[in-house]
Amino acid sequence: MRPVVWVPREIHADAVADLETWADVRRGWGVGAATEDVVAPVAEGVLLRTARLDAPQLKRMPRLRVVARHGVGTDTVDTAYARERGIRVTTTPEANVLSVAEHAVALLMAVRRGIGAAATGTASRDDLIGGELSGSTLGLIGFGRIARRVARIGQGGFGMRVLAHDPGLSDDEVRAGGAQPLPLDVLLSEADAVSVHVPLVPTTRGLLGAEQFRRMPSHAIVINTSRGGVVDEYALAEALDAGEVGGAGLDVSEIEPMPDDHPLRGRANVVVTPHIGGQTREAMRRVAMEAAAALRSELAS
Catalytic positions:
227, 256, 275
Choice from 73, 130, 178, 217 touching ligand 3PG (CB under 6 A) = 73
Nearer to ligand 3PG, 28 or 246 (CB): 28
CA distances from 71 to 147, 211, 251, 254, 257 (A): 16, 31, 15, 18, 18
Do 210 and 238 form a contact (C-beta atoms < 8 A)?
yes
List the beta bridge partners of residue 47.
Answer: 68
What are the start-end ranges of the H helices in the chain? 13-20, 36-39, 55-59, 79-85, 97-112, 115-119, 145-158, 171-176, 184-190, 210-215, 233-241, 281-299
Binding of ligand 3PG by 49 (CB under 6 A) = yes
Sole window of 14-22, 71-79, 108-116, 231-239 interacting with ligand 3PG (rule: CB under 6 A): 71-79
DSSP β-ladder status, 193-196 and 221-224: parallel
Binding of ligand 3PG by 96 (CB under 6 A) = yes
Binding of ligand 3PG by 278 (CB under 6 A) = yes
Binding of ligand 3PG by 149 (CB under 6 A) = no
DSSP, collapsed to helix, strand or coil, labels residue 206 as coil
Binding of ligand 3PG by 12 (CB under 6 A) = no
Do 235 and 209 form a contact (C-beta atoms < 8 A)?
yes
Do 96 and 287 form a contact (C-beta atoms < 8 A)?
yes
**Contact map string, positions 238 to 277, toward ligand 3PG, x by CB under 6 A:** ----------------------------------------
Nearer to ligand 3PG, 103 or 112 (CB): 103
Binding of ligand 3PG by 114 (CB under 6 A) = no
Binding positions for ligand 3PG, rule: CB under 6 A: 49-50, 70-73, 96, 278
